[in-house]
Chains A and B, each alone.
Chain A
Amino acid sequence: NAGVTQTPKFQVLKTGQSMTLQCAQDMNHNSMYWYRQDPGMGLRLIYYSASEGTTDKGEVPNGYNVSRLNKREFSLRLESAAPSQTSVYFCAIPEPRGDTQYFGPGTRLTVL
């Protein structure tokens, strides 16, 4: 669906490698969010951005950096990937039907 796109859909890394997960929205929202989802757990907030150029830590920010260079894009970077970062990563924007969030399709990341 239009609204939020994430790239790549799948990625396999070796421990210590770096990569950037990309998120883009076409809804002109100020806020954007990054979550991770691990088996048997709900989604946990990594970082969020309330507006272009601003970012704040969420519940589990360690090991990640983010960048919000423009209103449309919010990227998540793993500088030195660890097996504990194996997860599904979801980007989110405000949900038009309520005061919550609408999630992108996700990126499934495996770190060996």
Chain B
Amino acid sequence: GENVEQHPSTLSVQEGDSAVIKCTYSDSASNYFPWYKQELGKRPQLIIDIRSNVGEKKDQRIAVTLNKTAKHFSLHITETQPEDSAVYFCAAIQGAQKLVFGQGTRLTINP
């Protein structure tokens, strides 16, 4: 089955700087990769996704890149703000829309 590895487990950046979170996956058949943001005590919420036929996708300050050959994908947050502080999860979709999650990255934005 699919296995998703996520790094780093914690990340601290200065406000205004960029943050990058990386994930690798094992199953070359996976073709859809969502990213979730989870604030303390709340549900995970979808922030961006990418399909395997696309190399990059942007949404304002957030972007995701995908390298199918290397089987890794990354989340990039630019001009970070305090409200970006949260835990971020990458995931890959297996059959029947079953999500396989990475372990999560706790992002802290320092003012």
List chain A positions with a Cβ less than 8 A from chain B: 31, 33, 35, 40-45, 48, 50, 56, 58-59, 90, 94-95, 97-106
Contact = CB atoms under 8 A, between A and B. Distances in A.
Nearest to A98: B49
B97 A42 contact: no
Contact of B97 (A59, A101, A106): A101
| Interface SS of chain B | strand
7 contacts: A31-B97, A48-B96, A98-B34, A99-B32, A103-B43, A103-B45, A104-B43
A100 B46 contact: yes
Interface residues of B, number: 24
Interface stretch (B63-71, B74-82, B98-106): B98-106
Contacts, number: 66
Contacts of A45: 98-100
B46 A95 contact: yes
B16 interface: no
Contacts of B8: none
A100 B101 contact: no
Contacts of A59: 1, 100
